[in-house]
Structure formats: C-alpha cells, structure tokens
Amino acid sequence: MQYGHFDDLAREYVITRPDTPSPWINYLGSEEFFTLMSNTSGGYSFYKDARMLRITRYRYNNVPTDAGGQYFYINDGGSLWTPGWMPVKAKLDSYECRHGLGYTTRRSPASRTV
C-alpha cells in the first residue's frame, strides 16, 4: 500500500492517507522543549526529559497505538471531524500531512456527506 512519498525539493515526507499501519511521528523541539507529533495528531510534549517531565499526558512508549494526543474538533453544520483524523476518523475529501525538519503540517477538509 502507498501511504505517501518523499518530496525531495521541500525535504519532507508527504503522508497522503491517515490510516497508516502505525503512527508516523516527527520529533520537534529546541534545546529544552520537545514535542513528538504523529500524522494523526497523537503525541506529547515534554521539558528536558521525555519520561519524567511530560507536559501533556501520553503513555510513554505506547507503540503502536496513537491515542491521547491533542485533538481539535470541528463541528461543521452537524458534521463532526478533526483535522488530524484521529479520534473521529471521519471520511475526508483529501488528507495530507507533511513531516519536515522542525515542523509538521496537515490539510484535511472533511467530507460534506453526513
């Protein structure tokens, strides 16, 4: 199955399907603050130590599940969806997550069928 591709020009991996077999995670951070962000919005943030100084709740080494991340819910005229696909798993018109060096972006307009 094809879940995405490398974009050599932008130096990033483009994920084109949200239902990857396991979370595809990008490690984002600075000298002391870090976030692990998956393609479906799972992950966690921490200060200096990933196990002892977590800021957001997440089960440490919780592979392969991808639950407990930071989710944004959108209610679009009664159609509930999330830009990161999890946990609602609504049918999307399209999906794109780009993991680059130091950033992650997502685009996923919800399907208009209810």
The CATH superfamily assigned to 4-107 is Glycoside hydrolase, family 65, N-terminal domain (2.70.98.40)
**In terms of Cα–Cα distance, which of 46, 72, 73, 41 is closest to 57?**
46
Compute φ and ψ for 30, nearest 5 degrees.
Answer: -125, -155
Under the banding of pLDDT at 50, 70 and 90, the label for residue 11 is very high
Domain ranges of the chain: 4-107
| pLDDT tens digits for range 12-43 | 999 999 888 888 888 888 888 888 888 887 77
Alpha carbons 31 and 33: distance in angstroms, whole number = 6
CA dihedral 48, 45, 64, 96 (to 10 degrees): -130
Alpha carbons 29 and 32: distance in angstroms, whole number = 7
Task: Scan for tokens 């830009």, then name that residue.
Answer: 83
